[in-house]
Structure 1
């Protein structure tokens, strides 16, 4: 899916039928549609390691964002802690040389693979200044394809974040999401199944 924008002005005059697309419709005012930068269905699994491992990475080209543009990233997958004890998982989001978010939290042991979602987005307030927001959800310890629990359900975890960074987007930058287990075990696994990265064009 490409960006729907008309970046030139037609020199032709409009015809008399206003129900048709007219030459005056083709102009720079049509810029601004959200564009899909990347869609990724490759499974990435972090298992049997206590190292920090990237589950999603994308190189944003120089000047792609403009002065006020940004990106929105949605990730989804599943998580397993069947180690017999509570463990921790650390999530990090990075842009260029900046670690924007880094958060560790406890997970309860369960034989079920629970589902997780990570949504984050940032917008430029200048070419070298960004404001961020993020949300994380880990489902309760249920095997359901759509795992829904009541508030306070054992094994679930949810949170939100706000942050800022000062990376210069006039040069190319890498957006990177990593996961890190607190121990190396075959019974500790997190898998990324789907990623969607969208460009929010400059206003």
Structure 2
């Protein structure tokens, strides 16, 4: 499938947001942080495919990053306001409705025992983690400046990479679906390798 064919078949919701320009892209990024209906890298590559020129691409990266940071800070604020016990109890009772298991949430919280900046930054470039990483950061009341700096950099890396990839595919003539498949395989492999590395490190530390 070519880039033009894929863009033509983009979901109506995405086309609606994009029709409002940079403001629509900003809002789409905020919504994506709260309602992860599909993997963000698919959305980002699609937006990159829609960018007609480098300037639009650059502004799209800026708008998407600003929206992602705003959405992340929304989760952070929720965690800050309600505190660790109420948030954990809510996740235990209702987390399944937003694909947030209690064990997964506890793992995110536990990860903040290490360097706050690097944990936050790396969390923004791991698919399954980047949506909810800000929630435990808020419950633990991490320094807002550190959180915002790390989140901004992480979102810029994640959003910029896939938007640029989508933009590059627009003019490459390659099959977009096939390329997207291999991107998915690469992400899963990298995520698996990272998970194994973390577990091995924990065993070494305990040993």
Q: TM-score range by the shorter chain?
A: under 0.3
CA radius of gyration, larger in:
1
Q: Give the strand-richer structure, 1 or 2.
A: 1
Higher RCO, 1 or 2 (CA under 8 Å, sep at least 6)? 1
TM-score where L is the length of structure 2: 0.25
Higher-helix-fraction structure = 2
